Amino acid sequence: MTTFAQNVARFVVSAKPSDLPTADAQAIERSIFDTVGAMLAGVVSTPGTISTRLAATEPVGPATVIGTGLRRAPTTASFANGLAAHADDFDDMGGYGHPSAPILGGLLAAVEIAEGEGRTVSGAELVTAYATGFELGVALCQTGNYDQYERCFHSTPVFGALAAACASSRVLGLTADQTADAVSIAAAASAGIGRSSGSMVKPLHAGYASRSGLLAALAARRGATASPETFEGSGGFVQAIFGHRALPLDAIADSLGSPFRAASTIYIKRFPCCGSNHSALNGVEELITEHHLRADEVEELVVQGMMETSPVLRFPIPATGTNAKFSIQYVLATMLSKRDVQLDDFRDNAIQDADVLSVARRVRPAVVNRWDEQGAAKHKGNTVVVRTTDGRTLTASVLRTEILGSPKRPIEEDALTTKFLRNATLSIGAERGEAAAGAWRSVGSADDVSKLLELVA
Amino acid sequence: MSAGTVPATRALGDFIAGYRPDGNDIAAARRSLLEARRGAVVGATTTTAARLRDIASDATGATNVPSMRAWLTAGSILTSGMDDAVAYGSGGAAVWSALDSLPNDIDEGARLSAGAIGLRLALALYRAGRYQESVRGFSGSGVFGVLAAAASCAAALGLDATRASAAMAIAASQAEGLSIDSGWTTGILHAASAARDGLVAATLAADGFTGAGDVYESRQGFGEAFFGLAESRLDGLVAQLESGPPLQQELRFKVVPGHIDHQRPARTLHTLLAEVGVARGVLLEGVPPTSGGNRFSSPVTPEQALHSVRHTLARIAEHGTVTLDDLERPDQARLDLVEVRSSSRWDSRLVDPEFAAWEVTVTTADGNRLTADPGTVPATADSRESAAAWRDLAGALSTDVTAELAKLDEGA
């Protein structure tokens, strides 16, 4: 009888680039491109800056800390890059939270280890490796109906570490047995407290998961072991994380790559804040476009259908820029006041804007009673209802599955590149950003990914 | 929350910044530090430690990264099997490895004080959590080890209460480790990761990295994640911080390499063998069914041997002790000499006043039996016993290693 880890490993090792449908490969390429951009912006954020300072105290190593000019130990680089990717909450989402930040942090460091060992990793191989990890994270999280708000462990690092382990194992050339151990070792490193959202520790989760996944692969390659029943056994991953052991692990393993899920799952973010804001943000943007709505016309803005556990209810009056990304009041007020929501709106000085705060006080989230039928549809999105000063009532409703950046409504190519360039300019400047954009946008056809890393060093 | 109760996250920061260990705690910390350093020296000779060195080299590109040095040191200590234990699992390994790897200069007094603070803090939180983390499938060594290491490093770095709270908020999100890991490399890595991540948490906090100010006590926080206790249910923490047992009572030192549950049966068997000479058979009865020391009946790796009370007693029956060589070749143990029987969860003196929690029985060559109760022997080794245990363990090792151990003994 094979274990879950063995079944997963078989999938990881045997997947071929030709197995990946074009749509999924393209979705992953867009995600990789977008996430590298997010790293280039995140590295100049407060948590990114502190992380870079820590890396700077360490000796020179073989791996790139993106956007800093530093080369450090692979585990240091994976941690710093994973953290940077998620620092602004501008990285992609879907599947198991923020999928790309933890995978890519570990995966890019694994590429440089492989390169140091004389093995070149192509873009096609990078994309395939990513896909194997993404599949495991999504399959476990979604099939298991993992609810991070009830179980309290942040889904991004818990499943992201597993995904990073798969992807890193693939690039480092681990055997099936070693990959099974790597995934199990990563499972043993599951960590990340949900309450940390709205603090600097949230992006640290992504960095931690990147490093855990990479280290798990390196450890397994050297013969480190984990219990073969790490997932299904008593005192194992499923029991600890899900709170029970009744997960259909065989079915989950069989579902990997059948079909691949990237194209139907990954959302590229339009706004640099918690994804739970985006349905309402899209709704308000619609009202602004259709009705030329101005902030001073708003008497009250009600956001309907807010889950009791919604993370964006945490900070009605945010004290820091990081808090503000989890404040539905602040983000909608910003959209109304400035017609957009951008990175600069979350700098600590920006959240003192008196005009924006005045509008924020007119935003009222309507929390759904948990016994209400609507409460069950918690992932569908939020309707926004505006009462204007002249007596009108304006309503907009954008389903979460149809927000700009969703698989159904992808961000257009120009906008994706513009986002990358704006992000990249913050750390490596406009000129280098242009060169990097051209190369990273076609990462899937690159002969040698390590050469692309030089462009964003 | 009752009036006057300090919220848990703040209470942890206040404790780190304000607590001054007394002489007894310092003495206990000194002993724990000595054991950790002995463990690092001896553990470094094991094949598992060699593997950890290779992993660390790959992970760092063969560079000297302080946090990975802490990882390697703590992992090596655990491979010796002689790491000291506290109520939640492995005690000093993570703490001293993290402190010894801080790039800052810290004098010995400050180091001992910091270590004592870390251990007390972690034990207080363990008790406030009412032991629920193990019910949920988590290993105490990993979950509380990182908190102990972070608190120790925060204290050593002289962080004020606010930054110390931040260090603990960061560490909360690095608490990890599954119960199923015991007996595998992943079990060794609980202390290793704890050392590394505790050091990183304190270092980041010192530079202004912050976390959620209520991460321990709030909804979706640490207390709810690991114990199912949110909001006001960590009220007991402050009392535990202020009035917990002295460290001397908390720390357990070993006489043989292996799980803490092996120590009393091992000492008992030593005593019986001293009386009878040679045993034809050994029976250990009444082992709690949840004991981590009875995970493997027929171990095949050193990690499994450290969690096999059957292996430990077999080696003692064979030649009086457990050596590192024994751990490297557990499949060659005379396991046929030893039988281990678990108790049921319902066995207790409440049901049967004559019930003895556990017993060790040796059968002599002429068929006589002699029984003793492990509950009557001390739970922890004194200094003399520890020193002798290390000498036995290191007996077959290189002169460099024995010389290093001798130097540590002189300094003790």
Q: What's this model's pTM, rounded to 2 decimal places?
A: 0.96
State which residue of chain B sits closest to A214, comparing Cα positions: B59
From the CA of A183, how many Å to the nearest CA of chain B?
Answer: 12
A370 neighbourhood in chain B, CB within 8 Å: none
Q: How confident is the model at residue B84, as a pLDDT?
A: 97
pLDDT at B351: 63
Question: Is it the case that residue A308 has pLDDT exceeding 90?
Answer: no
Compute the distance between CA of residue B49 and CA of residue B79 in angstroms, rounded to an integer.
Answer: 7
Q: Looking at residue B2, what is its pLDDT?
A: 37
Set of chain B residues whose Cβ sits within 8 Å of the Cβ of A168:
none
Closest CA to B93 of B68, B115, B120, B114: B115
Exposure string of B52-68, with b = 16+ CB inside 10 Å and e = fewer, is bebbbbbbbbebebbbb
| Chain A closest-CA separation from residue B43 CA (Å) | 16
Please name the residue of chain A whose CA is at the shortest distance from the CA of residue B205. Answer: A50
| Residues on chain A touching B54 (C-beta within 8 angstroms) | 222
Say if CB A3 and CB A180 are below 8 A apart. Answer: yes
Instruction: Report the distance separating Cα A107 and Cα A114, nearest Å.
Output: 10
Contact B186 A208 (CB under 8 A): no
- Top residue of A193, A205, A218 to mutate, by most chain B CBs within 10 Å, is A193
Q: Nearest chain A Cα to B132, which residue?
A: A240
B46, B102, B163, B178: best to mutate for the A interface, most A CBs within 10 A? B178
Q: How many angstroms away from the CA of A99 is the closest CA of chain B?
A: 18
- Touching check for B301 and chain A: CB below 8 Å? yes
- The ipTM (two decimal places) reads 0.96
Chain B environment of A239 (Cβ under 8 Å):
136-137
Residue B218 touches chain A, beta carbons under 8 Å = yes
Closest by CA to A147, choosing from A229, A259, A244, A231, is A244
Kindly state the average pLDDT of the residues A239-265.
Answer: 96
- For residue B400, the model assigns a pLDDT of 87
Å between B133 CA and nearest CA of chain A: 9
User: What's the rounded Cα separation, in Å, for the pair B164 and B283?
Assistant: 50
Min Cα separation B242/chain A (Å): 26
For an interface test with A, which of B51, B52, B58 has the most A Cβ atoms less than 10 Å from its Cβ?
A: B58
Strand partners, B86: B89
Which helix (H) or strand (E) segment is B253 a member of?
Answer: none
Query: Are A73 and B59 an interchain contact pair (Cβ–Cβ within 8 Å)?
Result: yes
| Predicted pLDDT at A68 | 98
Nearest to B218, CA basis, from B5, B6, B4, B8: B8
**Mean predicted confidence (pLDDT) in A77-100:** 98
Quote the radius of gyration of chain B (alpha carbons, Å): 21
Contact A57 B103 (CB under 8 A): yes
- Determine what percent of chain A is predicted with pLDDT higher than 70: 98
Q: Which of B153, B182, B185 to mutate to test the interface with A (most CBs of A within 10 A)?
A: B185
Nearest to A226 among B179, B185, B208 (CB): B185
Determine the length of chain B: 412
Judge: A195–B218 Cβ closer than 8 Å, yes or no.
yes
- The rounded Cα A383 to chain-centroid distance in angstroms is 25
User: What φ, ψ does residue A234 adopt, rounded to 5°?
Assistant: -65, 130
Q: Which residue of A has its CA nearest to B134?
A: A235
Q: In this complex, do A201 and B54 lie within 8 Å of one another by their Cβ atoms?
A: no
CA dist B180 to A397, B67, B170, B188, B344, Å?
47, 25, 25, 12, 20
Chain B segment 364-383 residues within 8 A of A by beta carbon are: none
Residue B65: pLDDT over 50: yes
pLDDT in tens, B243-297: 999 999 999 999 999 999 999 999 999 999 999 999 999 999 999 888 899 999 9
Task: Summarize pLDDT for B150-176 with one digit per residue, the tens.
Answer: 999 999 999 999 999 999 999 999 999
pLDDT at residue B1 in the model: 35
Contact A54 B103 (CB under 8 A): no
Distance CA B99, CA B10 (A): 23
pLDDT digits (tens, 9 = 90+) for A187-216: 999 999 999 999 999 999 999 999 999 999
A7-34 confidence digits (pLDDT tens): 999 999 999 999 999 999 999 999 999 9
The per-residue DSSP string of B109-149 comes to HHHHHHHHHHHHHHHHHHHHTTTHHHHTTB-HHHHHHHHHH
Q: How confident is the model at residue B235 (pLDDT cuts 50, 70, 90)?
A: confident
Task: Please choose, from the candidates B237, B102, B104, B107, the residue with its C-alpha nearest in 3D space to the C-alpha of residue B165.
Answer: B237
For residue B411, name the pLDDT band (cuts at 50, 70, 90).
confident
Using CB atoms, pick whichever of B55, B59, B225 lies closest to residue A193: B225
pLDDT at A370 over 80: no
Å between B121 CA and nearest CA of chain A? 19
Which residues of chain A make contact with B169, given a CB cutoff of 8 A? 196, 199, 201
Mean pLDDT, chain B, integer: 93
Q: Per the CB < 8 Å rule, is A215 touching B63?
A: no
| End-to-end CA, chain A | 46
Check CB contact of B200 with chain A, cutoff 8 Å. Answer: yes
Question: Which residues of A fall within a CB distance of 8 Å from B203?
Answer: 54
Give the pLDDT score at B3: 38
- pLDDT score at B355: 60
Helix (H) or strand (E) holding A101: helix A100-116
Question: Which of A201, A242, A326 should be substituted to probe chain B, the one whose Cβ sees the most B Cβ atoms within 10 Å?
Answer: A201
CB-closest option in B61, B178, B203 to A240: B178
| A354: helix, strand or coil | helix
Compute the distance between CA of residue B194 and CA of residue B191 in angstroms, rounded to an integer.
5
Taking CB atoms and an 8 Å limit, are B180 and A229 in contact across chains? Answer: yes
CB contact under 8 A, B209 and A76: no
Band the pLDDT of B406: cuts 50, 70, 90: confident
Who has greater pLDDT, B289 or A156? A156
Buried b (16+ CB within 10 A) or exposed e, A299-327: eebbbbbbbebbbbbbbbebebbbbbbbb
**A219 vs B55, B64, B175: nearest CB:** B55
- Percent of chain B at pLDDT > 90 equals 81
Which amino acid would we find at residue B194? Answer: A
Residue B279, beta-bridge partner list: B364
Contact B68 A152 (CB under 8 A): no
